[in-house]
Structure 1
Amino acid sequence: MSKKLHLALVAGALVLSAAAPAAFAADSDVVAKVGSQKITEGELKAAESEIGPQFKNLPDERRKLAVLSALIDIKALAQKAEKANLQKDPDVAAQIAFERDRALHNAYFAKNGVAEISDKDLKALYDKEVAALQPRQEVHARHILVKTKEEAEKVIDELNKGADFQEVAKKESTGPSGPQGGDLGFFSQGQMVPAFEKAALALKPGEYTKEPVETQFGWHVIKVEEKRDAQPPSFDQVKDQLRQVAMRNKYMEMVQNARKDLNVEYVDPAVKKQVEDLESGMTDATGGKAGDDTAAPAAN
């Protein structure tokens, strides 16, 4: 084995040892033994879901062997640690307990949270979000961009005499949209620099600015072709984001119910006071309200 590959496997082993364990597959075929311990096909698959991406550039079989090598390293040192009774060390015991709880936490959320979220739930969330959107107008505009106010005034004079806006844009505009007749397509509030946006939104379809509009890019003459109500993104476009929102909502519901059922108690008076302050509406260290940044964990 090359030194470079061995270092990569060691790094993989370290990451695996720090990650929350995934549920093992049912397959119990033994693929390797490390002393008295066995590595099953199911355990290997679970480990591959954790650290496989680190070896994504390797062919499938090589990636599987890399994960297997990492597991062997872990089990070899773990057995040495047990013989040295490190599991009895308070810090190690606490870490083992934490890893166990995290694995169970993730498995419970995956089975009772993630798996329960259906496309019907996501569509209902989408409809709710769309219904709450404030009406927003889009503008289809063209512009002619020149360097000076005097040049812009000459352009407006040409337009006042009946010149075609698109043809003037192709001839005079220094902006990248010039060859397309100054066409900027549709845009809505917040997408353009303020001065340009204000002037465009004030125009009616078919109108152009009678005075030059200055921005950091130069001087503009703007024409509005069309206005319409902005359409929300389609369900398929935002389905993945909706799933993340649904997972977060489901997670919050589950942990709140679990906390209520188990009657959480803060034994340390100082910690209890801090929690009470946060729950009463005081801001946390980042300036947000308590719980603002709580997010559902990835289901491992």
Structure 2
Amino acid sequence: MGIAVNGIEVSDLAIEQELPHHQDAANPLKQAVHEVVLRQVLLQEADRLGITGETDDARVEALFEREVKVPEVDEAACRRYYQSQIERFSSGALVEARHILFQVTPTVQLDLVRSTAELILAELQANPDRFDELARQYSNCPSGAVGGNLGQLARGQCVPEFEQLLFRMAPGELAGRLLETRFGLHIVQAMRRIEGEALPFEAVQAQISDELQRQSWQRALHQYLHILVGQADIEGVELEGADSPLVQ
């Protein structure tokens, strides 16, 4: 493929061997090429620094351990994160909700579905008492048979975009816009809300510290890879240092 790193050619065989690991990527071949090239950059840097290991993976890990330094997360940083994300560290929060689902399928025109959904939403904004009736008539969800009632939902029980909207709503509030998820378009109403109890900081401090440490590591690793890639003479492909599963 005419790809080289600092004058050393990257073989087609290496890319072919890497390709099966990236079949879920949007562009498997591109991802495989980037992975092989980035690994070559790292192994050459390990050679330059005299870093050895039983396998290439061991040498890369040793390189990271030596060159990527991340300060320990202190208690003050953990407490700030805890206060800013207090809802995440609460237990037992529940929201009773109902919805009307307008399912989108390959055989249905999205514009037509959206127009219908917007008309129903406008009707509910003017006449909220019709929710039960209209859910039974229009919803493509089994909950339509009970007026769209989904019961009490806790965090993690529905898709993220539905959860994010629902847990921001006040009791009785009808969302003023359609919510789009992989299931289709939703009209959403929050009914009763049961507030959760915040877990004490001490109970989640270790979890927060691990999460912040991991975020710091990923930032430092991205920066290190960008520097290495910027210094390398790479021919035949444009490569960004962070575009690799190595830094996920």
Interval of TM-score (by shorter of Structure 1 and Structure 2): 0.3 to 0.5
- Higher normalized contact order (CA 8 Å, seq sep 6+, divided by chain length): 2
TM-score, with length taken from structure 2? 0.38
Greater Cα radius of gyration, structure 1 or 2: 1
TM-score, with length taken from structure 1? 0.31
